[in-house]
Chain A
Amino acid sequence: MSYPIEIILNRQLAECLAIPVFITDTVGNLLFYNEPAEDILGKRYEDTGEMPVEVWGTIFKSKDESGKLLDPEELPLVKTLLNQLPYFKTFWIESLQGTTEKISVSSYPIIGRAGIFHGAVAIFWRQADE
């Protein structure tokens, strides 16, 4: 069974972009990430394929500016999946290798023409440290 074209078109756009893009289904399973996003995950889509939410959700830790772990419910993509609305937040991520990076994340729901919620997109913007 093929994905809805709204998901397919988001991937085809993501493949043309130089900014990191993650595409999930309605429960957060990672369906696709583009080449710039591979840098952030430290993994290649060609190697991993799709990833269940419980796997890719543990690849990096999300922290606030004081270094405190963020609750998942504070993260834009999680909020988008819960509420089917767009969100934005700047925070820090720590990879499994221990490197920390400041990022901003914009997320939006994929709601198709028939009004059906198909999934979500998260776009990561790398921020220079102030």
Chain B
Amino acid sequence: MKIALRGVRGSIPTFNPATQVYGGNTSCIEIEKHGWLLVLDAGSGITNLNFNESQRFQRIDILLTHLHMDHIQGLVFYEPFFDATKEVHIWGPVNPTQTLRARLGRYFAPPFSPVYFRDLTCDLHIHEIGNSSFQIGPFAIESRFVIHPGPTVGFRIHADNKVVTYIPDHEPALGRGPLHHNLKWVSGSELALDTDLLIHDGQYTRDEYKFKVGWGHSAMEDALEFASITGTKRLILTHHDPIHTDSNLDQCYKNLKITTHYSFPYEMAVEGTVIEM
């Protein structure tokens, strides 16, 4: 399968000369295999998907971890929604008070958008998920609620005997010092257990996190520890804080290499990276 990082910035698109290396688009990952396309989150990075390329897909599945703006702001600009020949499925977390369609409908309406759901011409299907298992073409997918404000899930995607785990917004260390080493007590651990590739929240430095406890994101050191205790084979830190410039992120990475010692490879997510697994 092919995995493409289309948006790796957290919170708000951040385009300036100091973010050109790591990129400024918000969360979006593309996974393709045997003519099936998964789009993980629909931040502004969704505009990086090649729409001519998308023509190859009759069906497209968009998996939303949650509905914070940086994960859905690209939806209205996604061309396949306006193509009557396309079948588009949106999968997102269930909520006890409103349907997923109703919650997404707030965004697909003025004053946020000139376009209503009813204006979409594609064959649209909406699926509510929680702690769920489901199959999309060649992909066996598990979703689990994870610690982040509001209903939020992470995904474990299995294909070709490889596992990719995506948890871009996650604060497993909330209210604690170090993470539990008993995985039963660690949010998201089932999703990441022995995964081949973990794409995980690493928004803050340790010092920044002290002032952002409860905001739903991880210190980079906690993300590394989470990867270590779950047996992750490769980690990509994503959801970069909008104040982090390219040089900041380079420095963060150098600091992590000096202050931590993990055996698995890890790196900072770079928009445009394509990984073959």
- With A12-B174, A16-B175 known as contacts, the answer to whether A112 contacts B145 (CB < 8 A) is yes
- With A13-B175, A15-B175, A16-B175 known as contacts, the answer to whether A2 contacts B186 (CB < 8 A) is yes
Smallest beta-carbon distance A31→chain B, Å: 9
Category for how many chain B residues contact A = 20 to 34
A92 CA to B130 CA in the complex, in Å? 41
Smallest beta-carbon distance B133→chain A, Å: 13
Q: Is the CB of B94 within 8 A of A2?
A: no
Residue from B93, B144, B175, B183 within 8 A of A12 (CB atoms)? B175
Verify if B147 is at the interface (C-beta below 8 Å from A).
yes
- With A12-B176, A15-B175, A113-B96 known as contacts, the answer to whether A1 contacts B184 (CB < 8 A) is yes
Q: Is the CB of A9 within 8 A of B94?
A: no
Q: Is the CB of A8 within 8 A of B185?
A: yes
Residue from A5, A12, A13 within 8 A of B145 (CB atoms)? A5
Verify if A115 is at the interface (C-beta below 8 Å from B).
yes
A8 CA to B189 CA in the complex, in Å? 12
The A-contacting residues of B in range 156-215, CB under 8 angstroms, are 174-176, 183-190
Q: Is the CB of A2 within 8 A of B147?
A: no
A115 CA to B131 CA in the complex, in Å? 12
A115 CA to B189 CA in the complex, in Å? 22
- With A9-B147, A12-B174 known as contacts, the answer to whether A1 contacts B190 (CB < 8 A) is yes
Q: Which residues of A contact B174 (CB under 8 A)?
A: 9, 12
Smallest beta-carbon distance B143→chain A, Å: 11
Verify if A4 is at the interface (C-beta below 8 Å from B).
yes
Smallest beta-carbon distance B177→chain A, Å: 10
Verify if B151 is at the interface (C-beta below 8 Å from A).
yes
Verify if B60 is at the interface (C-beta below 8 Å from A).
no
Verify if B99 is at the interface (C-beta below 8 Å from A).
no
Q: Find the B residue at minimum CB distance from A14.
A: B175
Residue from B94, B183, B185 within 8 A of A11 (CB atoms)? B185
A9 CA to B149 CA in the complex, in Å? 12
Q: Which residues of A contact B151 (CB under 8 A)?
A: 113
Q: Find the B residue at minimum CB distance from A50.
A: B184
The A-contacting residues of B in range 81-107, CB under 8 angstroms, are 93-96
Residue from B96, B130, B175, B190 within 8 A of A2 (CB atoms)? B190
The B-contacting residues of A in range 111-130, CB under 8 angstroms, are 112-116
Q: Is the CB of A3 within 8 A of B184?
A: yes
The B-contacting residues of A in range 29-46, CB under 8 angstroms, are none
Q: Find the B residue at minimum CB distance from A6.
A: B145
26 contacts between A and B (CB under 8 A): A1-B184, A2-B185, A2-B187, A2-B190, A3-B185, A5-B144, A6-B145, A8-B147, A8-B185, A8-B187, A9-B147, A9-B174, A9-B175, A11-B185, A12-B174, A12-B176, A15-B175, A113-B93, A113-B95, A113-B96, A113-B130, A113-B145, A114-B96, A114-B145, A115-B96, A116-B131
A11-B185, A15-B176, A114-B131 are known; give 8 further A-B pairs, CB within 8 A: A1-B184, A2-B186, A3-B184, A3-B185, A5-B187, A13-B175, A113-B151, A114-B94
Which B residues have a C-beta under 8 Å from some C-beta of A?
Answer: 93-96, 130-131, 144-147, 151, 174-176, 183-190
